[in-house]
Amino acid sequence: MKLKFLIVIGVSALALASAGRAWAEEAAPALAVAGAPAGYGCPPRLQLRRPAACPSVGVGGELNDLASRGLYLAAPLPTVGIDPNLSYVPWDYLRVGDGAAALYPSPEEAVAAAGSSLAVGPGFVFLSSASSVDAGGVQVYATPRGYVRGDNVSNASVSLFQGMAFSRTPSRPFGWIVQGGTCTERTPGEPTDYTGHCFMSHEVVQIYGVQHVGDWDWFLIGPGEWLEQRMIGKVEPNQAPPDGVTGDRWISVNLYEQTLAAYEGGRLVFATATSTGRNGAWTQPGLFQVWAKLERDDMTGGIPGENFYYLENVPWVLYFDRARALHGTYWHNRFGAPTSRGCVNLSVADAHWVYQFASEGTWVYVYDPSGNTPTDPALYGDGGA
């Protein structure tokens, strides 16, 4: 009797276990998983360990597919901290108004508006000032070339945008949102079907997939979230040095994407959004080397009254192609869009990082994967800021 009882108990337990497995396998796809996107049931670990519980089709398979592409659970970029003090410069910047600005030998003469020995402008003019005084109710700024009245200038707002430094090369492309107010769509191409998820300018996104629809690539930046390629300034890490580069350090400037990437020893160590030459004042494609390295420089060009510009104390300057340089930019925040007169504009913090990274002789590779930028050297002068 005892033996029969044990056999009955054993068979019953086995039947219960089998029934339990069948119930679990049937119910598993519907189980809620903490942190999973809405509508998904099986975490990747269960998908791999219990394929019967999470078949390759349906919600379990979809979740596993997301996990295989890095969308769930999404891994952050392997960034390292950047010194916030890189954006510091020991002076303020001043925008001169529409007319020419008079520069005076002393604060007293500036207050009296008499004795001017120099005028700058009219044009696109910025001055720098390390100090100011209130003289007789008039704010007077000291500049390297003289004193300027406060009613002739306004304070410039310097961008605090910073790129990213990396502990290792990221495993997938990434980039910056070019324009604030950009919103994702549920499907690539037409018709428009916005998700309601919108971005501010210069937010960072990772790219998990690409579909070509119509004339453009569409990037998958999250589960069911697509952006058209022109909305993102993309960096696609390429650890192979460009042809002609010797040594283990180089800087790549992508004219189409408006991005800069710095490499060391075949590893991406820094990337950021930049602003290169606008149409007609292109940044020349080619392979160059830094030929001068200056902590600051004054930049000027054009014809007064027409297209004249004067930019005082431009920080962290690396000349690489005649007058074309990588440098800090305090007069705009349009990083990710062509804006310059031929130079590679960077935020002050980013220019400082690149300045510390580079030396005279460091390679600078400028290229346009779209082929839209002219390559005929006859079309290029010395360049400008």
Predicted local distance difference test score (pLDDT) of residue 384: 86
Give 244's contacts (C-beta < 8 A, 6+ positions apart): 287, 363
Q: How far apart are CA 300 and CA 316, in angstroms?
A: 16
Q: Which two tokens stand for residue 35?
A: 């942190």
- pTM for the full model? 0.83
Tokens 């002050």, located at residue: 348
What pLDDT was estimated at residue 304? 77
175 near 235, Cβ under 8 Å?
Answer: yes
Q: How far apart (Å, rounded) are the C-alpha atoms in residues 259 and 61? A: 36
CA-CA distances (angstroms) from residue 294 to 252, 313, 318, 338, 360? Answer: 20, 10, 7, 24, 10
| Contact call for residues 158 and 119 (beta carbons, < 8 A) | no
Domains of the chain, each with CATH number or no CATH:
25-74 (no CATH), 171-235 (2.30.30), 249-379 (2.40.440.10)
The three-point CA angle 200-205-206 to 5° equals 175
How confident is the prediction along the chain (385 residues), in pLDDT tens digits per residue? Answer: 443 333 333 434 334 334 334 333 333 333 444 444 555 556 666 766 666 666 565 555 665 666 666 766 578 999 999 999 999 999 999 999 888 889 999 999 999 888 777 888 889 999 999 999 998 789 999 999 999 999 999 999 999 999 999 999 999 999 999 999 999 999 999 999 999 999 999 999 999 999 999 999 999 999 999 999 999 999 999 999 999 999 999 999 999 999 999 999 999 999 999 999 999 999 999 999 999 999 999 999 988 778 899 999 999 999 999 999 999 999 999 999 999 999 999 999 999 999 999 999 999 999 999 999 999 999 999 998 9
In this predicted model, what pLDDT tens digit does every residue of 228-238 receive, in sequence order? 999 999 999 99
Residue 58 DSSP label = H
